Amino acid sequence: MNDTSPRSWHEDRDADGIVWLTLDKPQASVNTLSSPVLEELGAIVTRLAAEPPRGVVVQSGKASGFVLGADVKEFTTLRSIDAARALVRRGHRVLAALEQLPCPSVALLEGFALGGGLELALACTYRVALDDENLSLGLPEVLLGIHPGFGGTVRAVRTIGAVAALDMMLTGRNIKGAKARTLGLVDRLEATPAACRDAARELIERNPGARRPALLQRALSWPPVRPLVRRRLRAQVARKVREDHYPSPYAIIELWAKYGATGTRAYQAEADSIAALAGTRTAENLIRVFMLQDALKSQGKQSVESPQRVHVIGAGIMGADIAAWCALRGLEVTLQDREQRFIDAALLRVSALFAKRIRDSEKRAAALARLRGDLAGAGVAEADVIIEAIIENTDAKRQLYATLETRMRTGAILATNTSSIRLEELAQNLHDPSRLVGLHFFNPVAQMPLVEVVHAASSSAESIAKAIALARKIDKLPLPCRSSPGFVVNRVLAPYMQEAMHAATDGFSFDAIDRAATDYGLPVGPVELSDMVGLDVCRHVAAIVGPALGKPVPDLSVLDAKISARQLGRKSGAGFYRWEDGKAVRNASTRAPYLPSLALPSADVAKDLQDRLVLIFLNECVAVWREGLVESADMVDAGVIFGCGFAPFRGGPLNDARQRGVATCKQRLRELAAHYGSRFTPDAGWSQLR
């Protein structure tokens, strides 16, 4: 075989006359379809079309996977709709030429094939995939505020039918092995790389013809049927996101409804649509969020020993879920509590979680075997990381640390899952406070991606690096932050959630308060969020953060009454709302009327309420940035997006403040302060925010 390509693509022709095109983008850990990569491929395909081989196999030279997608960074350089359209049309031409080769082509898929990577595979005649746990196929462009742009809105429907293709594009969900085969997204699933190569040769030899969806699936794209399906799809999407917040899923529906994924006009319309979307603020902000996520992921690459053993103390909900997640991600875990009954209850919870997440019985058994109950705490001496997840009580934590410090092995770190207590207070009696860090997980652990990695002045750089390495080892996003009351996420949530209680005291219904927040684009309102966090936890954080920062503590009597009645929120079945099947039951008929007399004279009452909630939130984010709790404004945005779900389409709270206008935010805060009180006084950091 001879390598004839000097750059990203390597072209080899075997003895059977099959050309193997291997994409191995230089100086990159993953393959992406950048403009130079597409231009290279276009030149190769043009030459192959002139002198057709027996067949073509497209594969990756990266161990990480096939192709991650288009080069997202290129979208940040586009300056006009015309430039975006030209980029997309270039991709169209190259993949159309690949599809039209006068010989069969096979995409050999290992690991991921996402976005433009899957669109490249769909342009091939056949797809063969390695059937292992790393296989992940998807069209996640909607998560970036756009949609497939290299022909995917057409070829996906043509290959697997409207229902499956639209579901993939509208949700951004990835498809695994067996389901991909059932849908027809791949033609063959094989157990080994060698078997995949043999299957590719066999498909080229037989050339059985490309798969078509079943008749019923094709019928859904017929012109008389599409309007009916369109209405249903739009209604489903509208229940989750608003078109003015997230226009791309609506654009996907309209493309299919108008063109039925058929003909050259469908490709042209795709290019026009994605070019228009790429210039929207939503796409700009969602791409920013993608970059922030990459920045968090890039941490943990320091040359520290990768943790293998974790000992968790505290078998409550948080401790059990942290232990479960660590075991799920391959670590050896021991779980300790003061009584065996608490450990037994935790192991039952873990077993139920694994039953949902791991379908393969052998893999599920292996994960369960990695997690052991440890009443006596024997795992302390062997653990690389000890995670304390007991009650939020400073004295109790200090007493525990006194028993642990002499038993910990050399090089191990002690991590607390405290949600609000400063590390300086917890470290007072430690002989070696350099080993103490915070690993603050969020509830529910399995769903929330962020972990705050908290450090005090006494925490060593090595301990911080080991904590970050653990977070990345278990696929969490680490946010290094300085020890301070409430750290970052709870610090900024506290005034936001307290303002909801002020608004309730003013006469607004809980439902109206939550609607004001969700209308702004936040995933849940502050009242529902309080129920989700737990009213006991909310009260504890409020009592600590306010006084520690010199801010007034709101009236906590409502919370006290709920807690006394054991109405703690979702975990107890009732709080501010009643909860059924994990969802809040909200009765619109009980909404209290708005009270115009409490609003600013010139303000819309609903808008006034929304500004109260949002601007007090943004104001605290500015304070966190000014105080340097994290290294940059970008990290404030990243922490708040991934730690409490701040509306991704706004690109983060500080980014939102800039786009809204710093001067506008400051002026509005002054108006609110004059009317509602000093809690709205603009933070000094606004004058430095650019």
Query: Hey, which residues are catalytic here?
Result: 119, 141
Cα gap 625→630, rounded to integer Å:
7
3-state secondary structure of 132: coil
φ and ψ of 311, to 5 deg = -115, 120
* Three-state secondary structure of 307-337: CCEEEEECCCHHHHHHHHHHHHCCCEEEEEC
The residues with which 450 forms a beta bridge, in sequence order, are: 477
Within a 10 A sphere around the Cβ of 590, how many other Cβ atoms? 9
Cα gap 491→498, rounded to integer Å:
11
> To which residue do tokens 């996003």 refer?
477
Q: In the 8-state DSSP scheme, what is residue 573? A: T
Q: In degrees to the nearest 10, what's the CA dihedral of 549, 554, 558, 560?
A: 40
**What is the torsional sign of CA 633, 638, 644, 645?**
positive
| Encoded tokens for 66 | 């096939």
3-state secondary structure of 413: strand
| Encoded tokens for 493 | 């949530």
Q: In the 8-state DSSP scheme, what is residue 411? A: T
* Helix or strand run (H / E) with residue 268: helix 264-278
Cα gap 353→415, rounded to integer Å:
24
**What is the torsional sign of CA 227, 232, 238, 240?**
negative
Q: Which of 370-381 are b and which e, b meaning 16 or more Cβ less than 10 Å from the residue's Cβ?
A: bbbbbbebebbe
Please, are residues 586 and 511 in contact by the beta-carbon 8 Å criterion? yes
Cα gap 657→615, rounded to integer Å:
9
Cα gap 454→478, rounded to integer Å:
10
Task: Give Cβ neighbours of residue 269 (< 8 Å, ≥ 6 apart).
Answer: 255, 258, 259
What's the distance, CA 619 to chain centroid? 25
What's the distance, CA 163 to chain centroid? 24
3-state secondary structure of 439: strand
No. of helices (H) and no. of strands (E), the chain? 28, 22
Cα gap 505→595, rounded to integer Å:
11
* CA-based nearest residue to 109, from 136, 141, 73, 78: 136
- Burial of residue 619 (number of CB atoms within 10 Å: 0-12, 13-18, 19+): buried
Q: In the 8-state DSSP scheme, what is residue 419? A: S
Radius of gyration over every alpha carbon of the chain, rounded to an integer in angstroms: 27
**What is the torsional sign of CA 521, 524, 525, 526?**
negative
Task: Give Cβ neighbours of residue 355 (< 8 Å, ≥ 6 apart).
Answer: 364
| Encoded tokens for 48 | 């192959």
Task: Give Cβ neighbours of residue 681 (< 8 Å, ≥ 6 apart).
Answer: 669, 670, 673
Task: Give Cβ neighbours of residue 49 (< 8 Å, ≥ 6 apart).
Answer: 97, 100, 101, 102
